Structure 1
Amino acid sequence: MKAPGLSFVAWTAICLTGNGAVLAAAVNRSPDTANSRPEFLPWSISLGDALSSKTSPLPTGGFILNSTTPLATLDYGTEVAGIPFFSVSAVGPEADEQSVQIEVRYSESYSPLAHPWSDGPYVFSVSLANGFRVETFNVSSRGSFASPLVQGGQRWQSIRLLLSDEGESTASISFERVGFQATVDPYDVTDMPATFQCDDDGLNVIWGLGAAAAATACVDKGTQPAVWEVDTEKGVLLRSQKPAVWAHGYALANYTMEFDVMIERGGVWWTVAMPNGGYTSYLQLRLVGELPEATTFANVNRTLAPPNSVLLSYGFDFVNQTTLPSLLLDTFSVTGPVAEKSWHRVKTVLAPSGRLAVSLNDQEVFNISMSDYYTGGTTVSFTGNFGVGAWQDEVAYVRNLTVTDTANGSTLYTHPFTTTDVLVDFGTQPNIESVCLDGPKRDRLVWLGDFYHTARVVGSSTARFDMARGTLDFMLGTQSEYGVLAFMTPLGYEPATLALVGSDGALEDYQLLGASSMYSYVRHTDDLDFLRMTWPKWQKLLGWLESRVNATDGLVHLNGQFLAMGATAPTSSASCAAVQVFREFAELAEALDDNAAVSRYTTLADGLTKTIQEKLWNEELGVFAAAVNDRRNFSVPATAFCITSGVATTEQANRSITAVRSQLALGVGYKDGTNVDPEDPETKLSPNTNGFLLGALFWAGAYSTGHDLLRSLWGAMIHDPETSSGASWEYVFPDGKPGLDRFTSLAHPWGGAPTYVLTEWAAGLQPAAGPAGFGYRSWMVNPQAGVAMGLKRAEGRVQTPSGPLSVRWEMLAGDTAKMRVVVEAPSNTTGVFVLGATKMVLGEKNRYAFDVLVE
């Protein structure tokens, strides 16, 4: 049993090492009576003049930072999310209270705290959170204060007292309490509505990784506050946020953008010519004010951003980053000081000739031809959206934004920015639905395909089916006229506006994964009312998928495939995933008594299966080829979906798994495909695709291989206290370290497949096959995989529409051939117990207890 009051990570340390001090972490959660939000509080701290991961319990009464001890390293023990708050008891010296500045950094793993940007910034999207992982505060008095923006996910935090004259400064600050006002549900992975436990403590901790990721990535409606504030006179207040763009501006070209700005601190940031969705590089501009000493933080980089200048960049930001490259093209001086708290008029002109010009208060700052600048080998387009924001720690008001056609002067957009409807226009309003994000700190968007794993993780852990339904409803709201859903949906926009962005030609196999997540939701909940209500939209999506079955070769042809691993259509991954979707929707149609759809989807699945066997199975290599025109390569996703869709025969599944083990094994897991270079230092392993494979391994009865993968790939996520977040990761390097270095999301539900695999296979608790198993009205307990894994005990619990359903089995002491089983089931459900040749039908009871022989 877990000791009372211990967090997941502290419990992990005890379980795996026998010494809780290895990670020395726990999370206290107490009610915040001032604002009714729960709080996440740090468990341990290190004080000194340098960062340290060797922390100790917080001192009673708080802690002090001064010239001798200017730095605190705080460990929250596991992933937390919320609005940072600080309770200050004194600002020194005590006899003459004075202002001090503190720099606060946030990070999921420990080492990025030493980096100037910590593990950020996150400028891929406006994510209803601080776009930066470093923020600075000026503290002038005792009392409590909070950051204006959410920090989406972190385990570590540092607080540094900024000293103007280190060694002689008398500045100090005393903290009574620091923490986060929670913007996600407080959680305890050892006591969730749906649970798993066994006698292997390592597997218990691995099960909790997906549970913690889902708990922090799924958010209730309205819990993620607006990132813009509207003043009826001054306009929109911008802080530490990449430019938010107009919901309808992606098709605009060659326009002139003007706005009034009043800089409160630092400067203002704006974007022009953002392409559809902003997935590639585009133009960034930043006006830096005069940076007066009185209002400028001591840590401002005046070399990167000189006072009274305009910066021009092409990319996502003004600093380069792992997956978001940026080129700082030029820095232009502005004539005269750009005074703070004064209004300035900024004008940007995108001319049809390819020239870009910026003026300030009718004085030209520059007028250049973009062809004169190196932009990574690409031609800069003047087509795309516009928006405004503010860089790290910058604060500015913007109002009276107008966009006109450069050639004819016609008005394309105008808004005073003094009314709250502008929040809807620019996607900066609070989240309008309860949804599951890709991750709490990064990719804070609703990704269609990534929900494939999340929907199943939720069903096996948090049981927040309201959030799962909200996610599906939110995604359906983006459906285009062609039937496809937006593959990546930002939080703050109305979903209907994103149908304009759409997914046509981009990651089209995400449509299949998104559809399959609906099946998983209904499988867990039996929510036929929601299915019936949304059935026309799902049929429209399935109609689009049917249209992609090529009339000539009979296979599925998709564009921009995530699962193809470099292969071109028609691919095994797309066609096998389509078979799975058609079979799943045949079951959904059966539940709705839509016999025509049952027949249609079954016929499509059968036809595709036959064609895949004929055209994509490589008998010589014993694999499903990556593509018709690429028969020597194969991949993890294709192997997985050809197994779980039922396309592969038993022999084909076994041969495919053998090929994966012999040719794709790399470090702690499996590389995505044979065309991945294992020597490339940037090669990383995906818990997402390895998660598809994990389910397929247990599906095919390859229990030993599945067990090994569980312990190696997901074991890497709990091995090192400095990188363990308590949650499942986005990517992993072959050596077991985070796979995008400090940019990696260390709380990504797409990496949480063990959470549902262990419940369904190690504990053996599954819905019965077909519509009869929806909502566990009929269920099965089959612990064969758990026995094969060498477990002596396992138990699992899920939440059904009728109540909790649980199983506990254990090998009897002194008799390794006999197992004791206890099943507790809701009324009006029936089940079957299967183990080897033993099969027992269970019904009409709420509790079953029996012993069986293990053959």
Structure 2
Amino acid sequence: MPSTLPFSTPRLPKPLSSNYSFVRDEWPEHLLPIRVHSVQGQVENAENILTRDEQAAATLTRQSGTDPEPCIILDYGFAVAGIPFIKIQGIESSTTGPLNSKAALDFTVSEGYPGILRPDGDGPYPFSAGADTRRRVRFRLKGQGLYESKYVQGSQRWLKLTLVSPAPFSVRIALAGFIPTTSNLPLNRLPGAFQCSDNFMNQLWEYGARTLQLNCIPPRTVPPPWQVSEDMGVLIDSQRCNAYGWGANWTDYEVKFTSMILDGGLAWTVRAKAGPPSVIFIINIGVHKTTLEQWFGYYNQPQITLEPRLISTVDITHIGLELGNWFAVKTICVGTADFKIIIEDCEAAVFKQGTLKAEGFGAFSSCPPDEFPQQLKGSVGIGAGNDQLCRFKDMSVTSVPDGETLYESGLNNPAVLADFGIGWNQFAWISDGAKRDRYPWTADIIIGGRSLYYSTAGVEYVRGNIVTSMLRTGTSLLSGGGPPGRDLTRTAKDEMFNVLTVNYSLYLLLVIYDFWMHTGDDSLLEICWERIKGCLAYTEDRINERGLLEVYNMDAGDYDYYNGLQEGVSTKRNALYVTALRACAAIAKSSAIFDQELSLRYESYANRTFSSIQEHCFDKESRQFIITESRKEGFQQEAHAWLISQGILPPHLLSETFQNFNRLTSTTHNGAPLSFTPDTPSVPRVISPIMSAFQIEAAIHSGRSQDAEDILRKVWAPMADKTSPHFTGTTWEFLKEDGTPFKDDFCSYAQLFSAGPTYLLSRYVLGVESVEAGFKKFIISPRLEIAGLKWAQGRVPTPVGSCIEVRWQMFDGRGWRIECTSPGGLSGRLIVSEYVWSRRSEVLVNGETYKGGEEIDIPVGAFIDVEVIFW
């Protein structure tokens, strides 16, 4: 029978490849900007820098010391990633002899436009040791030729070139840009695809996919931040201190090393712990004065949320340190006694220890200005402060008083990079924030991983993160992340590179479950299973007499660190535990594990905590679930989203709970939901896209498409505004009430937390979802109704190589039609939505009259064409 509902929209183009791997075009040699935004000072032919004609050049000139430093601001239009480079065509200076050693060009980058107007761009970011600390690279010019940075800049739309050389000086720049380190495959050629009649939704899908491209890091593409030579030790340029990975439990010791300052100074740290800041000592060599400083923090330059504190400064000019000369440094750490620093056999300084009896990431945020936390044990690290270039060699750490050698190295062999966790990245991995958090954080990809399966299909990147965590040794909790350069072949337990929390471990269990459902990779389950059981055993040991999970201190940490720890009994954590137990019960029943007894035990644990949440976490007076037993005031977005999605919320409370969700929107500029209601004490007012994605899922599961659509439009609207100075074509970590990035430039503008629309649209508007590992069985159930949507089409990659392809269209007043293609080896079911099915007068399947129900089988490798004719 001929179709009575002919499609009126063109089909999607075929994907570039049918392989279930990260499809990649031949990468361009260089990523060049697309326009000159503005210039300052004496700049000629700025447009030449946009071309690939290396004979043409832009010229920056500074005639006198009173002239402004000439600069060019360049725009890429959207965020890119890579290693900064410049090609200098020529240099002119009125000075005779060699170029002045201070001749330099600053290469500054930023995601949003406001950041590029700052001297250091939108950085530095000194938390992620192993990544480039700065967002401003200083190229020290020695003549014409190609200059490359040694480090990756992970996400930036804006680039500023500034001549900082003494006058008179002129430089001709032929090229400037990035050597790409991640995929730049056009989004319409990805393995996965989504299109619909609403262009805003199409943009959201693409912004998530582009964010994933920037965060997927191929193996051996992140260079170590140290350069090692056999006779000169390690060369370090403006990098935060990296600590030896196996020294976190050292107590009393003295550390010795030999060092050389090439520019500015050097830095080292003692008693450093995993994660939190530590004591840093910095030598600064100036023109007429040399100083030794004591800091507490990560670096000697402030950055939002990571504010360092200068504790003390001592003049050490009398020691006679000179640029380019080696000198010996010894630091003595004993008990609570003052730190003693000896340079060239001369006592250079005695610095106090902190007295604050607290630890953790926020330990000194509220302490007096002249105080800081006391640290009586920890490792040793070396680095360089801002605009400092230095060398280190011949390091030894000896215990006091027994003289045991704790560590010894000439720092002149590549193996030293693994000691300090900063070698080349061994695996493909995915970071959660391309600019800032460039560790393979495993738990933070709970949203981004799902979006990856529907778009880039780069499953090897998610697998790399999971395996990285599984190869770590330590407690039964699962490592939340680690530096990409950690040597995973070493069996000794490392203490410096672990971030361990219950929530992060539970998220990782869900990441593993999602990976298995989308790939069917049973071999990964076999790698993970013993660690999974250990993690759940650790967590179950913290169940109290009421059947609720109760944890404290860093065990209670979570990705929303800015909201403070949710210690004790947390509703969200308990709902998350129920979710993880159910996922692990399903894994236990798989053919790869096949432990029916353990599966039943996990299900019983989940049912127990499910009931305990309902009985003990609901506050009858406020008619909502508590945040924690000590934080009952206010309404938490994410906790209630998990409760709804897992069916823990009693049905009679559903309508009332969505009314409470509306309270989250009362103060925001466009009605986007906050993560907590304004009456919640001690939390900032933040719009969290990751929490909003969970709320969207809760709304979809509750049949409330209008609520889900409202959140999609309102939360992501500021990111899609191309007139915004913050636009990058990628998705942001979090937002303020006014729709601008939260915490200013510290916010990651290419963050997996916010890539949720990519999977939400493919899973619920296109309708494709795996219901048996590896898509062996799947459903096609378009159930998120977007107002006015006329059609949607797309493809979803599968592990058999071919995609599941779907195309549907609504015909005004006449009916609805859908075409589905199932790859060989996979079978599915089409579930027609109640909105469509309730209006049927006739149903045709492949042109034949159909008399069955709204669930229609899709045989293995079949094509199915369904028309629902309306009455």
Give your verdict on TM over 0.5. Answer: yes
Q: Secondary structure at the match of 1:346?
A: strand
Match of 1:558 among 551, 559, 562: 551
Q: Secondary structure at the match of 1:39?
A: coil
Q: Does 2:275 match 1:278?
A: yes
Q: Secondary structure at the match of 2:31?
A: strand
For 1:121, the equivalent position in structure 2 comes to 124
Cα 1:747–1:678, aligned 2, differ >3 Å: closer, same or farther? farther
Cα 1:624–1:741, aligned 2, differ >3 Å: closer, same or farther? same
> What per-residue deviation string (whole Å, max 9, x for no partner) do you get for residues 327-383 of structure 1?
112222111432122111112222334212222211122123336996565443242
- Tell me how far apart the structure 1 counterparts of residues 582 and 388 of structure 2 sit (CA, whole Å): 53
Q: Secondary structure at the match of 2:320?
A: coil
Match of 2:748 among 739, 745, 748: 745
For 1:472, the equivalent position in structure 2 comes to 466
Match of 1:826 among 798, 818, 823: 823
For 1:318, the equivalent position in structure 2 comes to 300
For 2:110, the equivalent position in structure 1 comes to 107
For 2:205, the equivalent position in structure 1 comes to 207
| Aligned residue identity for 1:286 | I
Q: Secondary structure at the match of 2:374?
A: coil
- Tell me how far apart the structure 1 counterparts of residues 634 and 855 of structure 2 sit (CA, whole Å): 41
Shift of residue 441 of structure 1? 1.6
- Tell me how far apart the structure 2 counterparts of residues 401 and 270 of structure 1 sit (CA, whole Å): 12
For 2:404, the equivalent position in structure 1 comes to 410
Superposition pairs for residues 372-411 of structure 1, below 5 Å? 377-411=371-405
Q: Does 2:336 match 1:337?
A: no
Match of 2:172 among 171, 174, 178: 174
Deviates most, 353-362 or 758-767: 353-362
Cα 1:341–1:822, aligned 2, differ >3 Å: closer, same or farther? same
- Tell me how far apart the structure 2 counterparts of residues 466 and 150 of structure 1 sit (CA, whole Å): 21
Cα 1:666–1:558, aligned 2, differ >3 Å: closer, same or farther? farther
Shift of residue 407 of structure 1? 3.4
| Aligned residue identity for 2:472 | T
**Kept in 2: contact 1:153–1:440 (CA 8 A):** yes
For 1:161, the equivalent position in structure 2 comes to 163
> What per-residue deviation string (whole Å, max 9, x for no partner) do you get for residues 642-693 of structure 1?
122222244434432221112465415322224765998x532222222222
| Aligned residue identity for 2:122 | D
For 1:725, the equivalent position in structure 2 comes to 728
For 2:645, the equivalent position in structure 1 comes to 644
Structure 2 runs not aligned, ≥5 long: 1-8, 11-23, 63-68, 357-367, 838-853
For 1:764, the equivalent position in structure 2 comes to 767
- Tell me how far apart the structure 2 counterparts of residues 502 and 387 of structure 1 sit (CA, whole Å): 11
| Aligned residue identity for 1:594 | D
For 1:579, the equivalent position in structure 2 comes to 578
**Kept in 2: contact 1:478–1:502 (CA 8 A):** no
**Kept in 1: contact 2:132–2:152 (CA 8 A):** yes
Cα 1:429–1:663, aligned 2, differ >3 Å: closer, same or farther? closer
| Aligned residue identity for 2:789 | L
Match of 2:34 among 14, 35, 43: 43
Superposition pairs for residues 358-377 of structure 1, below 5 Å? 358-370=341-353, 377=371
Q: Secondary structure at the match of 1:605?
A: helix
> What per-residue deviation string (whole Å, max 9, x for no partner) do you get for residues 285-310 of structure 1?
1112355xxxxxxxxxxxxxx84211
Q: Does 2:343 match 1:349?
A: no
Q: Secondary structure at the match of 1:450?
A: helix
| Aligned residue identity for 2:716 | W
- Tell me how far apart the structure 1 counterparts of residues 630 and 306 of structure 2 sit (CA, whole Å): 32
Q: Does 2:842 match 1:841?
A: no
What is the alpha-carbon root mean square deviation over aligned residues? 3.0
- Tell me how far apart the structure 1 counterparts of residues 679 and 305 of structure 2 sit (CA, whole Å): 18
**Kept in 1: contact 2:466–2:512 (CA 8 A):** yes
- Tell me how far apart the structure 2 counterparts of residues 193 and 658 of structure 1 sit (CA, whole Å): 40
Cα 1:502–1:66, aligned 2, differ >3 Å: closer, same or farther? closer
Cα 1:66–1:230, aligned 2, differ >3 Å: closer, same or farther? closer
Deviates most, 836-845 or 432-441: 836-845
For 2:360, the equivalent position in structure 1 comes to none
Cα 1:576–1:679, aligned 2, differ >3 Å: closer, same or farther? closer
- Tell me how far apart the structure 2 counterparts of residues 464 and 662 of structure 1 sit (CA, whole Å): 38
- Tell me how far apart the structure 1 counterparts of residues 497 and 139 of structure 2 sit (CA, whole Å): 41
> What per-residue deviation string (whole Å, max 9, x for no partner) do you get for residues 577-603 of structure 1?
111111112222222232112211221
Cα 1:223–1:59, aligned 2, differ >3 Å: closer, same or farther? closer
Q: Does 2:271 match 1:289?
A: no
- Tell me how far apart the structure 2 counterparts of residues 503 and 399 of structure 1 sit (CA, whole Å): 23
Cα 1:375–1:408, aligned 2, differ >3 Å: closer, same or farther? farther
- Tell me how far apart the structure 1 counterparts of residues 390 and 497 of structure 2 sit (CA, whole Å): 34
Structure 1 runs not aligned, ≥5 long: 3-27, 33-37, 292-305
Q: Secondary structure at the match of 2:806?
A: strand
**Kept in 2: contact 1:760–1:766 (CA 8 A):** yes
Shift of residue 736 of structure 1? 0.8
Match of 2:257 among 251, 256, 259: 259
> What per-residue deviation string (whole Å, max 9, x for no partner) do you get for residues 463-482 of structure 1?
111111111111112242x4
TM-score by length of 2: 0.85
- Tell me how far apart the structure 2 counterparts of residues 229 and 516 of structure 1 sit (CA, whole Å): 38
| Aligned residue identity for 1:577 | L
Shift of residue 781 of structure 1? 1.6
| Aligned residue identity for 2:194 | F
Shift of residue 816 of structure 1? 3.8
Deviates most, 659-668 or 483-492: 659-668
Q: Secondary structure at the match of 1:724?
A: coil
For 2:436, the equivalent position in structure 1 comes to 442
- Tell me how far apart the structure 1 counterparts of residues 863 and 495 of structure 2 sit (CA, whole Å): 52
- Tell me how far apart the structure 1 counterparts of residues 443 and 724 of structure 2 sit (CA, whole Å): 30
Q: Secondary structure at the match of 2:710?
A: helix
**Kept in 1: contact 2:678–2:685 (CA 8 A):** no
Deviates most, 556-565 or 484-493: 556-565
Match of 2:152 among 150, 153, 157: 150
Q: Does 2:223 match 1:232?
A: no
For 1:487, the equivalent position in structure 2 comes to 480
**Kept in 2: contact 1:565–1:672 (CA 8 A):** no
For 2:851, the equivalent position in structure 1 comes to none
For 2:688, the equivalent position in structure 1 comes to 686
> What per-residue deviation string (whole Å, max 9, x for no partner) do you get for residues 517-542 of structure 1?
11110111111222133222222222
**Kept in 1: contact 2:482–2:498 (CA 8 A):** no
Cα 1:189–1:695, aligned 2, differ >3 Å: closer, same or farther? farther
Cα 1:760–1:132, aligned 2, differ >3 Å: closer, same or farther? same
Q: Secondary structure at the match of 1:77?
A: strand
- Tell me how far apart the structure 1 counterparts of residues 313 and 719 of structure 2 sit (CA, whole Å): 42
TM-score by length of 1: 0.87
Cα 1:236–1:536, aligned 2, differ >3 Å: closer, same or farther? same
For 1:601, the equivalent position in structure 2 comes to 602
- Tell me how far apart the structure 2 counterparts of residues 51 and 704 of structure 1 sit (CA, whole Å): 55
Shift of residue 618 of structure 1? 3.9
For 1:548, the equivalent position in structure 2 comes to 542
Q: Does 2:499 match 1:516?
A: no
Match of 1:530 among 524, 528, 531: 524
For 2:708, the equivalent position in structure 1 comes to 706
For 1:309, the equivalent position in structure 2 comes to 291
Q: In the comparison of the two structures, how many residue pairs are matched?
A: 792
- Tell me how far apart the structure 1 counterparts of residues 247 and 79 of structure 2 sit (CA, whole Å): 36
| Aligned residue identity for 1:547 | D
